Amino acid sequence: MRGAGPCREAFSRRAALGHVTRLVNLWVGVTGALYGGPVIDFQHVSKEYPDGTKAVNNVELHLEKGACTVLVGSSGCGKTTLLRMINRMVDPTKGQVLVNGQDVATADPVKLRRDVGYVMQGSGLLPHRTVLQNIQTVPLLRGEPKDEALRRAKLQMKNVGLDASMGHRYPAQLSGGQQQRVGVARALAADPDILLMDEPFGAVDPLVRAELQAELARLQAELKKTIVFVTHDMDEALALGDRIVVLRAGGEIVQDATPAELVANPANDFVRTFLGMADGRRTLEVRSTPEGQVVTDRFGRPLGVVGQQEKPMEPGLPA
Amino acid sequence: MTWILNNLPLLWQRLLEHLTLAAPAIVLSLLLAIPLGWIAYRYRLSRWLLVTLTGLLYAIPSLPLFVVLPLILGTGIRDSINVVAALTLYGLALMVRSVSDALAAVPAVVVDAAQAQGFGAWRRFWQVELPLAIPALTAGLRVVTVSTVSLVTVSGVLGLPSLGLLFTDGFQRGIPEEILAGMVLTVVLALVLDALVALLGRALTPWRRAVKA
């Protein structure tokens, strides 16, 4: 037996605890690598521009596989900068960004971008290419055969709810909502694990926006991509996020929580104001009226009705 | 009028000769202006340098240029290469700026989007930036086309066969119809080529004609 005298002594309670902790950490690390765990890792990341402006300040963030993380904050909080560091559209001045354990700084940016889906505000479609050509972009850049790229593009059109007859139209011939759908289809065409979405529904009217959000939630329930979603709209963040990261000007994380945690325990007044809690908009009350029970905000403005049965809060996206 | 009717084959021949001098110069100035214009667009200092230098080319009087170029190129003074080279330089004077401006006018959002999808610099230029620059390029090329067709006539002074030869010949022999025919045909040729360039630009940009359905 290896456990001789001095060794036995060393095996005190404290040391045992240390061993256990290390083993647990190792176990978490191994399972993390095998079954998800962070796929995108921001390690002490900062971005400072030559004029001294800090867009991102010492951000430490670990994004889980298959989850939708929403980066939310007002303009100038560095949320888009953080997002664009993942596909090296922006390089950090300090720190590292790891994707699947690899420092993106060591990756070929062009190849990396073909592996990461990207949906941008105002669709970012190529105006001189038709819907089908736009959706085929990344598969063709990755060198897939033409018929395979076309097959994938047609599949994606169906997937995002676009009629096949729109395939030969140019982006300018589509409505804002349709353009965004094409943007999502394009980002999904090469079937990337990671999907970056930079205020993708920012330029469409509220009705279409809600429709697109529901559509994305439906797609995500099915596809389970690792989504990083940037928005300045807290309602959108609450609707789509498995996890919400609130940022403030200067690129600092104020709170990193699940939607329920965020609403129940806002970290400070900044988050409370950003949520719309400060003005009573989210403090809901149930009032009895002659017509029945109505949910109102603190000012008595009716918002909705009470559902029939009590349901436990489910984490994640609405189905 | 009778002179014109009696000399139709000659006029047709001069027209074709004119075209064989003008067309290569127009095409060459476009082809050479694309890389030069790209460099001018890409690097700020070179933009100033290239646009100013090529622009200055236009200030060189054409007749002396026709005379000086053979000394540099080692061609004969009545060699058509000589004329094509001179006309190409004038074309460049206009086109380099055109290309540079046309590329600068491509929306930055689209270029950024292309980059984010994984276009490398080379593909992005040929598949995104250049096609989107076509409308502005066409506008520049139309000016070059008309100006080149008109400049070819100067080579007539050197005795090179083109519509310009109708001017010198008509002047020396006192045939006003010949001069008039030369002028009208020059204008007509310029208009026809201009229309062709405009049509080509239109054909290459089908997305601009697409209307909201």
Q: Which two tokens stand for residue B32?
A: 């050479």
**Nearest-10 crossing angle of helices B163-173, B8-42:** 130
If phi over 0 gives left and psi between -120 and 50 gives alpha, with beta otherwise, what is residue A44?
Answer: left
Contact assessment for residue A59 and residue A252, using Cβ atoms and an 8 Å cutoff:
yes
**Predicted local distance difference test score (pLDDT) of residue A37:** 53
| pLDDT per residue as tens digits for the range B184-211 | 999 999 999 999 999 999 999 999 988 7
Residue A281 half-sphere exposure, CB side, CA atoms within 13 Å? 10
Query: How far apart are alpha carbons A117 and A227 in whole angstroms?
Result: 9
A72-104 pLDDT, tens digit per residue, is: 998 889 999 999 999 999 999 999 999 998 899
Predicted confidence at residue B66, as pLDDT, reads: 83
Mean pLDDT of B90-110: 93
Taking the Cβ of residue A125 and every Cβ of chain B, the question of whether any pair is shorter than 8 Å is answered with yes
**What is residue A191's three-state secondary structure?**
coil
Torsion-angle region of residue A81: left (phi > 0), alpha (psi -120 to 50) or beta?
alpha
B55 touches B92 (CB < 8 A):
no
The Cα A18–Cα A263 span in angstroms is: 36
Nearest residue of chain B to residue A113 (CA atoms): B118
From A120, A169, A173, residue closest to B116, measured CB to CB: A120
Residue A14 has pLDDT above 60, yes or no: no
Residue A202 pLDDT more than 90? no
Higher per-residue confidence, B102 vs A303: B102
Question: In CATH, which of 3.40.640.10, 1.25.40.10, 2.40.50.140, 1.10.3720.10 is domain B1-203?
Answer: 1.10.3720.10
Q: Report the pLDDT averaged over residues B75-89.
A: 87
Categorize the per-residue pLDDT at A15 as very low, low, confident or very high, splitting at 50, 70 and 90.
Answer: low
Q: Does A128 sit within 8 Å of B131, measured CB to CB?
A: yes
Q: Which pLDDT score is estimated for A8?
A: 46
- The answer to whether residues B57 and B86 touch, using CB atoms and an 8 Å cutoff, is no
Rounded CA-CA distance A142/A190 in Å is 8
The 10s digit of each residue's pLDDT in A23-80 is 555 554 454 455 455 689 999 999 999 988 889 999 999 999 999 999 999 888 999 9
Contact A176/B at CB under 8 A: no
pLDDT in the model for residue A6: 43
pLDDT more than 70, % of chain A: 84
Alpha carbon of B79: minimum distance to chain A alpha carbons (Å)? 43
pTM here is 0.81
Tell me the pLDDT band of A3, cut-offs 50, 70 and 90: very low
Q: Which chain A residues contact residue B130 at CB under 8 A?
A: none
Is ipTM over 0.95? no
**What's the pLDDT at A9?**
47
pLDDT band at A256 (very low <50, low <70, confident <90, very high): very high
Contact B70, B35 (CB under 8 A): no
Rg (CA), chain B: 20
Of A13-17, A141-145, B90-94, which gets the smallest average pLDDT? A13-17
Domain chopping of chain B, boundaries: 1-203
Pick from B113, B59, B17: nearest CA to A117: B113
Mean pLDDT of chain A: 85
Looking at the complex, does the CB of residue B13 fall below 8 Å from at least one CB of chain A?
A: no
Query: Lowest-pLDDT range, A260-274, B118-132, B187-201?
Result: A260-274
Question: Is the Cβ pair A124, B211 closer than 8 Å?
Answer: no
Minimum distance, in Å, between the CA of residue B8 and any CA atom of chain A:
46
pLDDT of residue A319: 42
Report the pLDDT averaged over residues B39-56. Answer: 84
Q: Pick A87's closest partner by Cβ from B116, B119, B207.
A: B116
User: According to the model, what pLDDT value does residue A26 have?
Assistant: 53
Please answer yes or no on whether A122 and B116 come within 8 Å at the CB atom: no
Query: Are residues A151 and A165 in contact, defined by beta-carbon separation less than 8 angstroms?
Result: no
Q: Which tens digits make up the pLDDT trace of A210-237?
A: 999 999 999 999 999 999 999 999 999 9
pLDDT of A139 > 70? The answer is yes
Pairing, β A292-296 against β A302-305: antiparallel
Tokens standing for residue A65? 């596989």
B113 touches chain A (CB under 8 A): yes
pLDDT at A75: 84
Query: Averaged over A297-319, what is the pLDDT?
Result: 68
Given a cut of 90, whether residue A203 has pLDDT beyond it is no
CB atoms within 10 A of CB A75: 10
Nearest-angstrom CA–CA distance, A21 and A12: 14
Buried residues in A149-176 as b, exposed as e (16+ CB within 10 A):
bbebbbebbebbbbeeebbebbbebbeb
Enclosing H/E stretch for A5: helix A5-10
Separation between Cα atoms, residue B63 and residue B80, nearest integer Å: 14
